Amino acid sequence: MSAALCQCRLSSTKVLPGDVCAVRCTSVEVPLMELLIQAMEPTPLKEADEYYKTLKSPEISTGKPSRPCLVLPPPGYGPDAQICLMATFGKKHPDVLPEMYKEFIAPVHPNIEHTQYGSPMLFIPKDYFTSHQWIVAAPIYPISGKSLDLQLWSKSPRVHMCVGMLRRFVSLCDAKKLDWEEKVNYGIIDVERYYTEMRANKGGGSYRSTFFVMLVKEDPSFVYEVSPLVKLALADKRCS
């Protein structure tokens, strides 16, 4: 399987598990908010639920720059693969990020100074990314379109993760999710505090505020068409 996948990657532009692809600037908060909403069930905070829906709104990603993401093998027998988002968090030190981020981030080589968050994930070429690169080990399905429709982040060189490292990363994702679920079930963490920290965070988020402000300037009536969700996005002027 490993040799076949490597050979296919050499001879095809088709997106394969382990490839780094471009995804519309989906906020890194999306997979983390998904986990927080699940942890709040059966009665998640209304504000948190609306904010999560805002993050996943197709309008949020329209016309925005892309961010890199890692394509994972399809879970089980599912027809579509999941992705894990990548970010630099504005080159900020990870210790200043909200606790929710720290639960799921993993460094990407050559980010070797923060081993308390795990061993760096290796990609090929090895030094393609900067020393500020992170990957969020919380898989999600692409918000708009299927993973099959994703475009390679770079065709030359083709940035990817080898089969062995990909298996290791998938295991890391599973372990982090299990650890998170145990902490939630045993009441070790305060889920609502984690949510509040994420909303107050100045180092994460997305380009959604800039996008909405631009639309409001061009068409003031737009704010009324998408209200009240647009108010949440406008109030959250953050970028990662």
For residue 83 the two structure tokens come to 């992705």
Q: Sorting pLDDT into bands at 50, 70 and 90, what band is 239? A: very low
Q: pTM to 2 decimals?
A: 0.76
Spatial separation of the C-alpha atoms in residues 128 and 86, rounded to whole Å: 13
Q: What is the pLDDT of residue 14?
A: 82
Alpha helices in the chain (DSSP H): 2-11, 29-40, 46-55, 58-61, 99-104, 163-185, 191-200, 208-218, 222-226, 229-234
Q: What is the pLDDT of residue 72?
A: 93
Residue type, 50: E
Residue range 33-75, pLDDT digits in tens: 889 988 887 766 777 777 777 766 554 444 556 789 999 987 6
Residues 37 and 44: beta-carbon distance below 8 Å: yes
* Total number of residues shown for the chain: 240
88-97, 150-159, 193-202: range with lowest mean pLDDT: 193-202
